[in-house]
Structure 1
Amino acid sequence: MSESSIRPPVAARRPTTRTHHGDVFEDDYEWLREKAAGEVTTHLEAENAYTDARTAHLAPLRETLFDEVRSRVQETDLSVPTRRGDWWFYGRTEEGAQYGIQCRTAASGDDWTPPLLEPGVPVPGEEVLLDGNVEAEGHEFFSLGAFDVSDDGTRLLWSVDVEGSELYTVRVRDLVSGELFDDVIADTGQAFFTPDGTGILYTTRDDAWRPDTLWLHRIGTARDADVQLFHEPDERFWLGAGITRSRRYLLIDLGSKVTSEELLLDIADLTAEPRVIWPRRDGVEYSADHAVVDGEDRLLILHNEAALDFELVSVSASDPQGERQVLVSHSPGRRLLDVDCFRDFATVEYRSEGLARTALMDLRTGALDEITFDEPLFEAYFGGNPEWHAPFLRMGYTSFVTPSTVLELDVATGEKHVRKQQPVLGGYDSAEYGQQRVWATATDGVQIPVSLVWKRSFGEPGDGLRPVHLYGYGSYEHSIDPGFSTMRLSMLDRGVVFAVAHVRGGGEMGRHWYEDGKELHKRNTFTDFITCAQHLIDNGITTPARMIAEGGSAGGLLMGAVANMAPELFAGILAGVPFVDALTSMLDPSLPLTVVEWDEWGDPLHDAEVYRYMKSYTPYENVRDGVAYPRILAMTSLNDTRVLYVEPAKWVARLREAGAADVLLKCEMSAGHGGVSGRYNAWKERAFELAWMLDVFDLAD
C-alpha cells in the first residue's frame, strides 16, 4: 500500500455548544475529553497507527539517528561527586541501562577536592543508594521524584511516579541495616527529611493538581497521625517548602504567577505557628534566604515591590517586616533572579543583555563580583552546593557549541577549575560550529534577539539558503538560554541551522519582556516569532520551503497560533504537548491548573475582554478552512496532567476537517507531560521527531 493511499482517522463530529459573554461556540470534538471512554482510546490508537504508517519509510533514518546519538554518548559514566557531610554523593550510568544509579563514598576530613572517578572503574568504598533500573522493573514509565539522605547519613528517602501523573509514592530505607521501613506515603509532591532524619516533610495536591498542603510525618507512625503544618486555600497559590542551607529554618513558599508570600518556622519547633515574612500583596513577588551577618540572623529578600527587575534587601529574621537594608538596588534591565546564602558570602544570579550572569556577593555591603566567561553566548549557573561552609562553589557552564561543563570556583581566589566536561565521543570539535545572535525588528519597533547555531563547513548563515529549525517558547518568563545538545549535532551535521527566537513572554531581556508577552499582550509572542522567521528569510538565510518551527507545551500554543497566522512561512511545524485548546481549558476551573493559570493568560470565565482576546488567537478556535497549512506533527501523552491529551487530539481533528493535508498525532499511552521515561526511550522519541523534520527538509535520504 502506498503512503498516499493511507487514510487518516476521521473523528466523529458531535456538536457541543459553549456560551460565554454572549458568544456561542460550537465544539464538534469536545467528546474526545472522555479519557475513560473506549471510543476515545480507539481513536487515539487509530491516530498512532496512522502516524506509524505514514512514517514507516523513516524507520531506517530513525535507527541511524538513534545510533548517532548513542555513538556520541559515553554510556557508562559518572557525575562529579558533591560533598555533603561525611560523604561524596554522585550518580552514574551503565551502558544499556535506561536509568541512573545513585551512589556515595566516604569523604576524608577537610579535603574538599572531589575524588576523580573514572567511567567503568570501580569506586573504592562505593555504596549504591538507589538503582533506578531496579525501581523501574515491571513499569512502562518511571520517574524518580524526591531523593534525600538524612543529615547523619543513616536514612534514605525517595519517591517514584510510575504513571506520568506527577504524583509520587515515598519510601524510606535504613542505610545501616538495609531495612525498608513500613512507611509508605502515596500521592505526594515534594518530600524531604527533617534535619534529624526522624520526620518527613511532604506536600499533597488538591483535586486540581495544585500543591496546597504541607505535612509532617514521623517515621514509624501511621499516616493518619501526620500533622498538617499548613494549608493554602486560595486556588491561585501553589505551596512549596524547603529547609535553608543553614539548617536553621523551614521556609514555606506560597505563590501565584504574580504574587508571593513566605512563612518562616524554626526548625527546632516545626509545629509552632508559622511567621509571615511579608504579607501577600497582589503583584508583589519575593523570595527569602537565611544568612548570618556579624552574628545576627538575617533574611535576604529578593522582591519586586516598586522594582520591576527586582531588588535585594536584608532584614532581621526576628523582625522581617522591619527596617530594610538595600544590598543590591533595582537597576532597569538587570533582572535579579536568585540569591543563595552561605556562611561567609552569598551568590546572586541575574540576567543582563539577554544572558544569565552569576556573581559572588558580600553579605555586609551587597557588592557584586561578577564571574566572567569568554564566549559571547553562554549559560552559567550555580548548582550542587548543599554545604553551608564549603570553600568551593560548584557551577555549571555551557553554550550552543560548548558541552556541559562542571566548574568549581575557589571562593578565596576566584580561580575556576574544570572538574568535568560532558564527553562527546567521535571526535567532536567545537571550532567546527558557530554561534551568534542577530536581531529582528518587530512591528512595534522592538528588537527581538535570535540565536543561531550552525556547522561552519556548510558556510556562514546568509552565504546560501539553508534549512532552518526555528525554536520558540515565550511564556512564564522562561528563558531559552544557550545550551549544548548531542542530538542537535545530527541536524547541524546535515546542514541545518538551529535558531531560537527569544520572543516576548519569556524572560531573556528582563521582566518587561515577560510583561509584554502575557495576558492582553500575548499576541506579541506570536507576532515576534513570525517577525524572527521573516527576518531569516529576508536576510537570505532560508526560505519558507526550508524552515520548520518547533515549540512545546506553552510553546505548542505558539506553534498553533503561528500556524494559523502565517502558515505560508513554514514547511513544517512540530508541536510537543501543545496547549492548543487554551480557551476551553481556561474556561473550566475544575480542570487541573486552570485557576492558577489565570494570572498568565487572563480569566476568560469572568472577564469578557479576556475572553474575546483569547478567542482571537487560541489555535483550536482559529483553524481556517481551505488554508494551505504546513506539515504538522503533534506529540502528546495520555497521562499528561498539565496539557491534557485532548487538546492536540481536538486540534488535529479540526485541522483535518479544515483541509490540512498532512497532519500527524502521536500519543504516548503510558507517559506524562515530559514524554517517555528512560534515556534510550527519550533518544528514540527525539529520533522520531528529528527524522520527521529531516523528511520535511527533504534530507531523509
Structure 2
Amino acid sequence: MKRFLYITFVAFLTTASAGLAQVTDTQKPRASSYPEAPDAMQKDSILTIHGDSRTDPYFWMRLSDEQKMAEDPDAQTQKVLEYLKAENAYTKTVMKDTDSLQKELFEEIVGRIKKTDESVPYFKNGYWYYTRYEKGGEYPIYARKKGSMEAEEEILLNVNEMAEGHDYFSVTGLEVSPNNNLLAFGVDTLSRRIYHIKFKNLETGEILNDVLENTTGGGAWANDNETYFYTTKNKVSLLSEKIFRHKLGEPNKQDDLVYQEEDPSFYIGVYKSKSDEFIIIGTSSTVSNDYYVLDANDPTGEFRQFASRERDHEYTIHHFKDKFYVVTNWDAKNFRLMETPENATSKENWKQVIPHREDVLLTGIEIFNDHLVVSERSNALTQLRIMNQKNGEEHYLEFDEPAYVAYTSVNPEFNTDKLRYIYSSLTTPMSTIEYDMETKAKKVLKQEEIIGGHDPGEYVTERIFAEARDGTKIPLTLVYKKSTEKSKETPLLLYAYGSYGSSMDPWFRSDRLSLLDRGFIFAIAHIRGGQEMGREWYEAGKMFNKKNTFTDFVDSAEYLIDNNYTSADHLYAMGGSAGGLLMGAVVNMAPENFNGVIAAVPFVDVVSTMLDESIPLTTNEFDEWGNPKNKDSYEYMLSYSPYDNVTAQDYPNMLVTTGLFDSQVQYWEPAKWVAKLRDKKTDDNLLLLHTNMEAGHGGASGRFERYKEVALEYAFLLKLEGLVPDKPAGTN
C-alpha cells in the first residue's frame, strides 16, 4: 500500500453566492494576532552516513505502536502526546472564528449525499450482490438476493452494528465461498491496516470460532469450501510477508505456510482468478511482478511459478478457458498483450495479441467469452477499446467531454455481451453504465444523485497545457462556473500527486460544487510521476528524475498566474501523502507563488524514513525514491527532502494534517516538519497542525464523520480568502 491514498480530491462548501468578498492586506490573518504557537522541545540527534552528518532536533517525537497504545504512558510518550494536543488546541484557537462555518460546511457537504442509497447490484454464482446505506448510518450494509432482485434480502454484514463502541472501524476483503454458504471478511479497529479475518456461516448467521490475526484483510477460497488462503504481515514493518493455508475448524497455529517472500522490496497477496479455476499468489515491487498458481480444486497441492522473476519485468495475468492473457512490459515500455497455454506459462511460450505502441499505455483488460475489453491511456485520457474475438472487429467507446475518466466496473461473468463501466468528469457525476458490445447501445444503470440538484451545463471544463522549464507540456484540467471571470483576483486551488505512476483523473466531486459556485477555479496538474501521458511520464518523475515532479507543479502554478487565471495572492495548493511531499518541496522552492497550502498526511522526512527499514513501506519503495544507503541516492534525496531543506525564509499560510496511527506516513514526519518550520520561518503567516488522535492515513472511518476534517481544511482556505462571516480575532 503505497504512501497514497489520501486522495481526497478537493471538496468545498455549499452556498450559492453572487461573488467573492476580497480580503485586504490589513485583514489577512496573521500568526501574531493569536496566542503564541507551541514551541516544541529540541533535543539534537546526530544522524551520520556517507561521512555526512545531519542534526535532527525533533527525532525524539517518534513513538512505537506499543508506546502509543500503552495505558500508562512513559515520559517520552507523554511529551509527544502533550505536544500534539497543544498543536491541536492552537489550531482550534486560530480557527475559532470558523466554528460556525465548519459546522455549516459539514452540514452542506453531507447534505448533498443521499442518505438512503444503494449500489448497482451485480450477479455472481446465482446471487445479486449490492451495498446499501440507511439514513442515520455511518457504515455500509452488505447484502444479496438469490436469483432475482425481487427475492428476500440476505444481510451479509451490517457494519453499523459491528462498529458500535469503536472510534474507528473498517471492514474489507469480503469473499463468499463457492457454495455460497460462508463469508470471509477482515476487520481493522485501529486504522493501521492490520486486519483480523473472521468467518460467517450465511445459512445460520453464526460467526465461526476461526480468527486469522495480523493479516492484510483479504484472501481466496479453494473450491472445497473449507480451505482459505490468506496473507500475514511483518509485525514491525507491516510488509505483507507470508501466505498461509487455513482449514476451517482447525487452530490457525496449524496453518500451512505456502509462500514466504524473502525480498523486502516486494508486496505479496493471494486471490482467485475470475474463472474460479486458479488460486494466484501475486508478488510485486515497484519494478517487478512474480506469480504462482495453483489449481483451485487441489488446495493441498503445490503452487508453481508462472514465469521466472526478472527485475524490471512488470506484468499481470488473467485466466480464460485453457490459457492465460498477460499484460506485460517485456520489450514494451507502454505494455503489450500476450497469451500463453495454462500449462505452459514461461515466457518462451508467450504469443503476442496486441503489440506495443509508443503513444498508448495499455493499463488492463476485461475478458468475456466473445469480447476483450482493453483499458488504455493516451494524451492524459482514459479509453475503452472493444475487441470482438469472433470476427476480429474492434471499436472504441466514444466520450464527448474534453476531460473525463472511464474504467471497467464489476464484471464477474464471462458469458455476456454486456460491459459495465464507470464514467465521470469534473462536471458529470459518477455513472455506472451498461454497454452492449454487440449493438453498441448504452444504458445508464445509475448516476450519483446530488441532493439539491446539479446542472452540468452551468460549469466549464478546460484542458490546457503549461510549458515546463525543460520544454515539456504539462496537462492541466480545470473546472469553473460559467459566470466566473478568470482574473488575478480569482481564487484557484491547484491539486496534484505525481508519484507511483498514479494518474490523477478528473473525477466529479459533489462537495466541490459550492467552491465553484463561490467563484473558485479548481485545477489538476497532471505532473510527471503519474502515468497520464504513458509509462515514460512516470519514469521521468521518479528516482533521479524526481525533481521534475516538483518543478512541473511550480511551472504549472506560474503558468496559471502568468495567464491571468489567478495570482499568487489567491493561488492555493493541496496534496496528500506523496502529494504532501510535493507540497513540502514546492513551498521550499517557490513559496512566493502560493497564498495557502494544505499538506495532508505529508511524506516529508524522506531521507530518515528511507534509511529506516523498520518503518512500513520503506523497503518496498527503494525503486521509487532510491535507497539512501547508496551515496548517490542519499545526496539526491537529501537535496529535495522537505524536512531537511526547511530554511529561514517566508512560507505561505499552511495547514498540515496527520493521524496518530497512520501506517503509511508516520505522524512524526508532519509533526517534526511543523516544529522545524516554526523555528525557521521568517513570516507572520499561519502554520497549523491538526492530528487525528484516533485515526490513520485515511482519516475517520465513518461515511460522514470524515467530512468534519474536510470542513476544517476548507474553512482554512475560506478564512484566507476573507470569506468567514466574522473577522479573525486581533485583525484590524
TM-score band, normalised by shorter chain: over 0.9
Q: Which residue of 2 aligns with 1:664?
A: 688
Asked if 1:159 is matched to 2:186, the reply is yes
Aligned to 2:225: 197
Matches within 5 A, 1:37-48: 37-48=77-88
Determine the structure 1 residue equivalent to 2:728.
none
- Amino acid of the residue matched to residue 178 of structure 1? G
Q: Pick one of 139, 157, 160 that aligns with 1:133.
A: 160
Per the alignment, residue 200 of structure 2 pairs with 173
Letter of the 1:53 partner, please give it: T
Deviation at 1:363, TM superposition (A): 4.7
What residue in structure 2 maps to residue 456 of structure 1? 482
Cα pair 2:219 2:271 within 8 Å, conserved:
no
Q: Any conservation in 1 of the 2:506–2:524 contact (CA below 8 Å)? A: no
Shift of 1:343: 3.1
Match of residue 546 from structure 2 = 522
Aligned match of 1:107:
147
In the aligned structure 1, how far is the partner of 2:585 from the partner of 2:542?
Answer: 14
CA distance in 2 between counterparts of 1:366 and 1:504 reads 36
Partner of 1:549: 573
1:466 is matched with: 490
Q: Which amino acid aligns with 2:479?
A: V
Alignment CA distance shift 1:151-1:657 (3 Å): same
- Which whole-Å CA distance do the structure 2 matches of 1:366 and 1:467 have between them? 51
Aligned to 1:496: 520
Q: Does 1:436 align with 2:462?
A: yes
Q: Which residue of 2 aligns with 1:385?
A: 411
Cα drift, residue 536 of structure 1: 0.4
1:174 deviates by: 1.1
Distance 1:272 1:195, change over 3 A: closer
Match of 1:591 among 584, 596, 615: 615
- Picking from 475, 486, 491, the partner of 2:499 is 475
* Structure 1 residues 596 and 364: alpha-carbon distance in aligned structure 2, compared to 1, 3 A threshold: farther
**Match of 2:448?**
422
Distance 1:20 1:340 in 2: 48
- Please point out which of 577, 580, 584 is paired with 1:560: 584
Q: Note if 1:676 corresponds to 2:700.
A: yes
Give the Cα separation in 2 of the matches to 1:444 and 1:52: 43
- Equivalent residue, structure 2, for 1:92: 132
Aligned pair partner of 2:111 in 61, 71, 79:
71
Query: Structure 2: which amino acid aligns with 1:75?
Result: K
Moved more, 185-194 or 572-581: 185-194
Q: What does residue range 214-225 of structure 1 map to in structure 2 within 5 Å?
A: 214-225=243-254
Contact 1:327–1:365 (CA under 8 A) maintained in structure 2: no
**Counterpart-to-counterpart distance in 2, 1:615 and 1:166:** 29
Match of 1:369 in 2: 395
List runs of 5+ in structure 1 lacking aligned partners. 109-114, 116-122
Structure 1 residue 70, shift from structure 2 partner: 2.3
**1:148, distance to aligned residue in structure 2 (A):** 1.6
Deviation, 1:650, is 0.3
Distance 1:367 1:3 in 2: 69
Identity value in percent: 40
507-516 vs 338-347, which moves further: 338-347
The equivalent residue for 1:348 is 374
Confirm or deny: 8 A CA contact 1:246 1:342 kept in the other structure.
Answer: no
Note if contact 1:257-1:599 (Cα within 8 Å) is conserved in structure 2: yes
Corresponding residue SS for 2:465 = strand
Q: 1:391 to 1:220 in 2, by over 3 A?
A: farther
Aligned to 2:58: 29
Q: 1:277 aligns with which of 277, 288, 306?
A: 306
Aligned counterpart, 1:313: 338
> Is contact 2:371–2:417 with CA below 8 Å preserved after alignment?
no
Distance in 2 between residues matched to 1:340 and 1:242, nearest whole Å? 16
SS, match of residue 153 in structure 1: coil
Deviations 1:480-537 (A, max 9, x none): 1010101111211111100011110011100000000000000000000000000000
Name the SS of the counterpart of 2:723 in structure 1: coil
Higher relative contact order (CA 8 A, sep 6+): 2
Q: Secondary structure at the match of 1:257?
A: coil
Q: 1:247 to 1:5 in 2, by over 3 A?
A: closer
Shift in Å, 1:151: 2.3
- Give me the whole-angstrom Cα distance separating, in 1, the residues matched to 2:292 and 2:187: 28
Deviation for aligned residue 1:346: 2.5
1:367 deviation in Å? 6.0
Structure 2: 5+ residue runs without aligned partners? 1-30, 68-76, 726-732
Q: Supply the RMSD in Å over aligned alpha carbons.
A: 1.6
How has the CA–CA distance of structure 1 residues 226 and 623 changed in structure 2, closer, same or farther, with 3 Å as cutoff? same
- The structural deviation recorded for 1:368 is 4.4
The yes-or-no answer on 1:60 pairing with 2:119 is no
TM-score by length of 1: 0.95
What's the CA shift string for 1:423-470, capped at 9, x where partnerless? 0121211111111111000011000001101111223xx356310000
Shift of 1:344: 3.1
Match of 1:650 in 2: 672
User: What corresponds to 1:610 in structure 2?
Assistant: 633
- 1:182: how far off? 0.9
SS in 2 for 1:372: coil
CA drift at 1:191: 2.5
Does 2:641 match 1:641?
Answer: no
CA shift in 2, pair 1:366/1:282, >3 Å:
farther
Q: For the Cα contact (< 8 Å) 1:299–1:317, is it kept in 2? A: yes
Q: Secondary structure at the match of 2:579?
A: helix
Give the letter aligned to residue 609 of structure 1.
D
Instruction: Count residues with an aligned counterpart.
Output: 679
Structure 2 equivalent of residue 120 of structure 1: none
